[in-house]
Amino acid sequence: MAKLKIKFVCTECGTESPKWLGKCPGCGAWNTMVEEKETVVKTQGFGSSIIQTKEKPQAIINIESGREPRIETRMGELNRVLGGGVVPGSLILVGGDPGIGKSTLLLQTSHALAVTGLTVLYISGEESVRQTKMRADRLGALTDKLYVLCETNIEQIGDAIEAVKPDFLVIDSIQTVYEPSVQSAPGSVAQVRECTAYFMRLAKIKGIATVLVGHVTKEGAIAGPRLLEHMVDCVLYFEGERHHSYRLLRAVKNRFGSTNEIGIFEMGEEGLREVENPSELFLSERPLGVSGSTVVASMEGTRPVLVELQALVAATNFPSPRRMSTGIDHHRMSLILAVLEKRMGMFLQNQDAYLNVAGGVKLDEPAVDLAAAVSIASSFRDAPTRPFDVFFGEVGLTGEVRAVSRAEQRVKEAGKLGFKRVIMPEKSLKGWTPPKGIEIIGVGTVAEALQAALG
């Protein structure tokens, strides 16, 4: 007879405790311990016949080395985020807000792979096969190599995988799948952990590229234990503003590529469309001749992106002025304000300051410091910059402008979009030749940059 055991598990880190605790002893998070019922049964383990292997240990010098082949998805933005395509046998976790377009993205990806001749199995635990067919009709994702199944029992899913033998597998979503021998509700910590471990072994042994869809919490993190992200090979976040039509696909973990890449899509009636030139999208509504507006050349992985940066500085009647930023780290904004006040003599103690990256993009590299400083100074002085100027550079605490990487690519991107002048760190001018038709101004301090930009 099975013995019932009750334990408490942290939803953040997976730490187990025999009693409930207000604060997790593992990660220190509050109110994250949830009750789990564990049944100890002597079995061979679920799906053991499907994922058995008889491989023996090998000496590392006897293993043939070679580059892992990748499967291109016919979606350039997705290939860029994944590092060149899908790696066979990899386990990918995709998270995002409800209704953001995760199922649409994966159904279009499944169709693109099935068209190339690969066998694709799309398992949905949230929609019936008819609902999935309706979505496929709208997207035009119809092919005989794409199989659809509505199932949440992991044993039935294992039988379907054994029968279809897919090259690409999609589980939508991991929170709906359950293992019958685990005495917990679907979506609980124990169920998510066990099911993810099963798909991880299946992907590695069978060589099936597997994508898991994960729900997110109110804070935007993937629901379930944090060890879920450690088990998978790649973690992708699909994000975007509900009031805008474009979506961002960002990699926060990737064992087979860079974690700095982003893919940009636009949501339409017929599904997601790739945005090949995101700079034009982010600058399409930019006003000209308005104080506080500048353009920054930021690097998103290997691709330069030009984004509008807006600042508003206004007098306040309160003793403590407000400091708000969107798309840029709040602490970085406070640092730039302190540099402007100390090194440039701007009296900002009685001024509210707001900083915004237009389009809902998040910029986290130091190269946006100079553009932020110029935007704040432009709004404070009510003096607009030239409409065809681009800025980038890191600002130090002494007011110096430090060099940044890949300056040549940033300048070339600005030239493609018709900008006439680039204000950048002078130490980034070494080792390359500026293109013709664009003026390059190298500056060493913030004072020089403001003199060149505002006069």
Chain center to CA of 189: 23
Domain assignment of residue 63, yes or no: no
How far apart are alpha carbons 394 and 403 in whole angstroms? 7
304 carries a ligand binding annotation? no
Cα angle for residues 322, 324, 329 (degrees, 5° grid): 135
Span between the terminal Cα atoms of the chain, in Å: 84
CB 202 within 8 A of CB 211: no
Question: Residues 287, 425: one domain?
Answer: yes
Cβ atoms < 10 Å from Cβ of 341: 14
Domain assignment of residue 45, yes or no: no
Count of CA atoms in the C-beta half-sphere (13 A) of 280: 7
Torsion sign, CA atoms 49, 54, 57, 59: negative
DSSP string, 26-61: TT--BS-EEEEEEEE---S-TTTTTS--------GG
SS3 414: helix
CATH of the domain at 432: 3.30.230.10
How far apart are alpha carbons 182 and 36 in whole angstroms? 10
For 21, the domain range is 3-40
96 carries a ligand binding annotation? yes
How far apart are alpha carbons 120 and 308 in whole angstroms? 41
Widest pairwise Cα distance in the chain:
84
Instruction: Answer with the one of 276, 303, 333 that is the final residue of a domain.
Output: 276
Question: Residues 384, 344: one domain?
Answer: yes
Domain assignment of residue 157, yes or no: yes
97 carries a ligand binding annotation? yes
Question: Residues 83, 12: one domain?
Answer: no
Instruction: Answer with the one of 276, 309, 338 that is the final residue of a domain.
Output: 276
Question: Residues 230, 82: one domain?
Answer: yes
Domain assignment of residue 58, yes or no: no
Question: Residues 248, 356: one domain?
Answer: no
Looking at residue 243, its pLDDT comes to 67
Question: Residues 249, 262: one domain?
Answer: yes
CATH of the domain at 123: 3.40.50.300
In 207-358, which ranges are continuous DSSP H helix?
Answer: 227-231, 278-282, 330-343
99 carries a ligand binding annotation? yes
101 carries a ligand binding annotation? yes
- Tokens, residue 193: 């952990």
Domain assignment of residue 50, yes or no: no
Preceding amide of 173 cis, omega within 30: yes
Among the listed residues 227, 238, 233, 222, the one whose alpha carbon sits nearest the alpha carbon of residue 257: 233
How far apart are alpha carbons 158 and 164 in whole angstroms? 10
Which H or E element spans position 72?
none
Q: What percent of the chain has pLDDT over 90?
A: 56
Question: Residues 244, 316: one domain?
Answer: no
Cα angle for residues 329, 335, 337 (degrees, 5° grid): 105
17 carries a ligand binding annotation? no
289 carries a ligand binding annotation? no
Looking at residue 53, its pLDDT comes to 57
Domain assignment of residue 64, yes or no: no
Question: Residues 402, 325: one domain?
Answer: yes
Q: Please report, for residues 75, 217, 366, the alpha-carbon distance to residue 253 in angstroms, rounded to integers and kept in the order given.
A: 20, 18, 21
Instruction: Answer with the one of 248, 276, 304 that is the final residue of a domain.
Output: 276
Question: Residues 346, 267: one domain?
Answer: no
Domain assignment of residue 48, yes or no: no
Which H or E element spans position 366?
none
DSSP string, 82-111: HTSSBPTT-EEEEEE-TTSSHHHHHHHHHH
Instruction: Please report, in tens digits, the pLDDT of each residue of the chain (455 residues total).
Output: 456 678 888 877 778 888 899 998 888 888 888 887 765 544 444 444 445 556 788 898 887 766 668 888 888 899 989 988 999 999 999 988 888 889 999 999 999 999 999 999 999 998 999 999 999 999 998 999 999 999 999 999 999 999 999 999 999 989 899 999 887 788 888 888 889 999 999 999 999 999 999 887 666 666 566 667 888 999 999 987 666 778 889 898 999 888 878 888 988 888 899 988 888 878 888 888 899 999 999 998 788 999 999 999 999 988 899 999 999 999 999 999 999 999 999 999 999 999 999 877 889 899 999 999 999 999 999 999 999 999 999 999 999 999 999 999 999 999 988 999 999 999 999 889 888 889 999 999 999 999 999 98
66 carries a ligand binding annotation? no
Question: Residues 109, 124: one domain?
Answer: yes
Looking at residue 397, its pLDDT comes to 95
Domain count, the chain: 3
Question: Residues 290, 268: one domain?
Answer: no
Question: Residues 447, 315: one domain?
Answer: yes
- Tokens, residue 231: 């088990």
Domain assignment of residue 100, yes or no: yes
